[in-house]
Amino acid sequence: MVCLHEPDGCYTYVSPSVRELLGYTPSEMVGLNPYELFHPEDKQRIRTEVHTPALQGVHHLAVSYRIRKKNGEYTWFETLTRPIFDNDGKVIQLQTSSRDISKRKAAEEALQHQALHDVLTGLPNRLLLNDRLSCALARARRHNTMVGLLFCDLDSFKLVNDSLGHEVGDSLLKVVSERLKQVIRNEETVARFGGDEFIVVCEGLSHKEQASEVVDRIRSTFAEPFLLGEAQQATITVSASIGLVCDDGRSTSEDLLRDADIAMYEAKRAGRDNVITFEEHFRTSVRNRLDTLAALSLAITNNELELHYQPEVRLRDGKTVAFEALLRWEQPQRGVMSACDFIPIAEETGLILALGEWVTNEASRQLYEWRRSHSTHEYTMWINVSARQLTDPRWLRHMERLHEMFDNDLGIEVTESSLIQDSDAAVKALRQLRRQGIKVALDDFGVGYSSLAYLRHLPVDILKIDRSFVADLGEDDTAEAIVASVIGLAHRLDLVAVAEGVENGRQLEILKRLNCDVAQGFYLSRPMKANDLFPMIHASC
């Protein structure tokens, strides 16, 4: 579209192409001031960037802006402006040539949207979140309000993906984001931070308690089960672990994101489906865990690991029938650490697999050594195994080979609670191990809340009665009743009952009276280094 204008902008000539581009006739346009058609937000820019310089004689100024068509809609134009001079060099007219660039603009906007939004859920992505968060913080400083940040991570999302497939996993993420969008208010942003992590930013808080109202709304979205799959055939219940942090007037976006992440992690550790508000000391506990993890990853190469062995005694005849291998970590600066102080940390990362492999190797090396030097086959070696190892194909192959070497002399202990968390795959692996002839003990039995019906399906040979029950033996009658019924249950199911944590003669007497098969505990023997063990056993024989 080619036009001529008065210096104030009014059209004096408009080419016929205006019909097609804007829907007006040329005569409707002549005499009109184009500022009446420009988008209010673009007027000022056109004046300063193009109109004023053109009147001062500057050539070839390009500008893109929105202009109103006859039907009331705006479209994008790109216009080149050229001043026309009289003989004295004074600008007497302006000439413009314009074209419609709305297609290009739409493509640019789509690209921009794509760059700032998550493809799967259409929610703002990390980039846009950072931008919104910085703006929110700037506004909060101006208005003296606070910004709250929620870090939500779905619980057991990996399980959904692994057991129902990635498509169902994807549709779960979509439905979750739909529900989140529905409960979000105007002054809040919900973004997908990655994987199964969602972030909610809430602005304009005047006190911290207001954030908990947002938390309630977010949690309500998980109350109803999710119907997934094409025919909505899968019904699953999902919860989320939520970390909450409020800015303290100095926080940056990075601070808030990091602290909310740490709080979310604490929520997971607290047992999922939890909300935890960030506290300063979390940072040191994360530091400590990271330090421990870093040192632990070097423990194997630095030769800082050791197994101690605790004898297990058959109550019928007082004979030692087995040893439980218990892992110790001795650091030059920190001294000896018990497994419960570092195994849970290793279990949060893949490091548990390397540790587990080391334990398996070392215990079987020791078993081999005892067989060779004492030419005895009377002892079973029990190693503790994390549920994660059970699904590690490398470890499973390793166990298979070891079993060929040791027959029934090598057994594994798995805690009831870890099986419940990781159930299906782990139970399958246990079944396979047991088919190969490897014995399985259910450790810490009684504290894992598994139902008796569930126990019936677990592939185990031994129940190890948790030491919390044994500790109360002789102190209160309910403990004795519980221990008696666990022993009875074990025998009914054809399982061996082992009592752990026997600390005095009285407990031992009660266990004998209750027909317990095997006992283990400080009263009988503390866990010991391999070299100290045999002299002691031979002495007692």
Q: Using CB under 5 A, which residues numbered 362 to 391 contact Ca ion?
A: 384
Task: Kindly tell me which residue out of 386, 473, 480, 496 binds ligand C2E, with binding defined by CB under 6 A.
Answer: 386
Alpha helices in 23-144 (DSSP H): 26-29, 40-46, 52-55, 102-116, 126-143
Smaller CB separation from ligand C2E, 167 or 475: 475
Binding partner selected for residue 261 from ligand C2E, Ca ion, none, CB under the kind-specific 5 to 8 Å limit: none
Choices 97-105, 249-257, 278-286, 497-505 (CB under 6 A): range interacting with ligand C2E: 497-505
Task: Kindly tell me which residue out of 18, 151, 527, 530 binds ligand C2E, with binding defined by CB under 6 A.
Answer: 527
In the numeric block, which tokens belong to residue 249? 């007037």
In SS3 terms, 461-530 reads as CEEEECHHHHHCCCCCHHHHHHHHHHHHHHHHCCCEEEECCCCCHHHHHHHHHCCCCEECCCCCCCCECH
- Find out whether 9 and 94 touch, Cβ atoms under 8 Å: yes
Binding mask 411-450 for Ca ion (x = CB under 5 A): --x-----------------------------xx------
Task: Kindly tell me which residue out of 96, 380, 384, 450 binds ligand C2E, with binding defined by CB under 6 A.
Answer: 384
**What is the rounded distance in angstroms from the CA atom of residue 312 to the CA atom of residue 528?**
12
Binding partner selected for residue 153 from Ca ion, ligand C2E, none, CB under the kind-specific 5 to 8 Å limit: none
Per the DSSP assignment, residues forming a β-bridge with 227 are 235
Binding mask 187-206 for ligand C2E (x = CB under 6 A): --------------------
State yes or no: residue 335 binds ligand C2E (CB under 6 A): no
**What is the rounded distance in angstroms from the CA atom of residue 255 to the CA atom of residue 275?**
19
Task: Kindly tell me which residue out of 22, 256, 315, 343 binds ligand C2E, with binding defined by CB under 6 A.
Answer: 343
Buried b or exposed e, range 415-449, using 16+ CB within 10 angstroms: bbebbbebeeebbebbeebeeeebbbbbbbbbebe
**What is the rounded distance in angstroms from the CA atom of residue 482 to the CA atom of residue 477?**
9
Place of tokens 């421990």: 292
Task: Kindly tell me which residue out of 276, 326, 353, 441 binds ligand C2E, with binding defined by CB under 6 A.
Answer: 326
User: Nearest approach, Cβ of 242 to ligand C2E (angstroms)?
Assistant: 29
Distances (CA, A) of 394 to 327, 353, 404, 419: 21, 9, 16, 19
Number of residues near ligand C2E (by CB under 6 A): 22
Smaller CB separation from Ca ion, 189 or 525: 525
CB atoms within 10 A of CB 369: 11
Residue among 113, 129, 115 at smallest CA distance from 200: 129
State yes or no: residue 541 binds ligand C2E (CB under 6 A): no
Smaller CB separation from Ca ion, 261 or 444: 444
Rg (CA), the chain: 36
User: Nearest approach, Cβ of 466 to Ca ion (angstroms)?
Assistant: 6
Residue among 7, 63, 9 at smallest CA distance from 36: 9
**What is the rounded distance in angstroms from the CA atom of residue 322 to the CA atom of residue 337?**
24
Angle at 240 between CA 237 and CA 243, to 5 degrees: 170
State yes or no: residue 42 binds ligand C2E (CB under 6 A): no
State yes or no: residue 504 binds ligand C2E (CB under 6 A): no
Binding mask 294-313 for ligand C2E (x = CB under 6 A): ----------------x---
**What is the rounded distance in angstroms from the CA atom of residue 12 to the CA atom of residue 33?**
10
Smaller CB separation from ligand C2E, 301 or 375: 301
Residue among 195, 162, 212 at smallest CA distance from 424: 162
Task: Kindly tell me which residue out of 231, 340, 453, 541 binds ligand C2E, with binding defined by CB under 6 A.
Answer: 340
Beta strand spans in 262-349 (E)? 275-277, 305-314, 320-331, 335-338
Smaller CB separation from ligand C2E, 155 or 347: 347
Binding mask 485-524 for Ca ion (x = CB under 5 A): ---------------x------------------------
Smaller CB separation from Ca ion, 137 or 327: 327
Q: Using CB under 6 A, which residues numbered 455 to 494 contact ligand C2E?
A: 467
Binding mask 344-383 for ligand C2E (x = CB under 6 A): ---------------x------------------------
Amino acid identity of 76? W
Q: Is the sign of the CA dihedral 36, 41, 47, 51 positive or negative?
A: negative
* Backbone φ, ψ for residue 113 (5° rounding): -60, -45
Binding partner selected for residue 98 from ligand C2E, Ca ion, none, CB under the kind-specific 5 to 8 Å limit: none
Binding mask 407-446 for ligand C2E (x = CB under 6 A): ------x-----------------------------xx--
Binding partner selected for residue 522 from Ca ion, ligand C2E, none, CB under the kind-specific 5 to 8 Å limit: ligand C2E
User: Nearest approach, Cβ of 116 to ligand C2E (angstroms)?
Assistant: 44
State yes or no: residue 339 binds ligand C2E (CB under 6 A): yes
The binding site for ligand C2E (CB under 6 A) comprises 310, 326-327, 338-340, 343, 359, 384-386, 413, 443-444, 467, 500-503, 521-522, 527
The binding site for Ca ion (CB under 5 A) comprises 384, 413, 443-444, 500
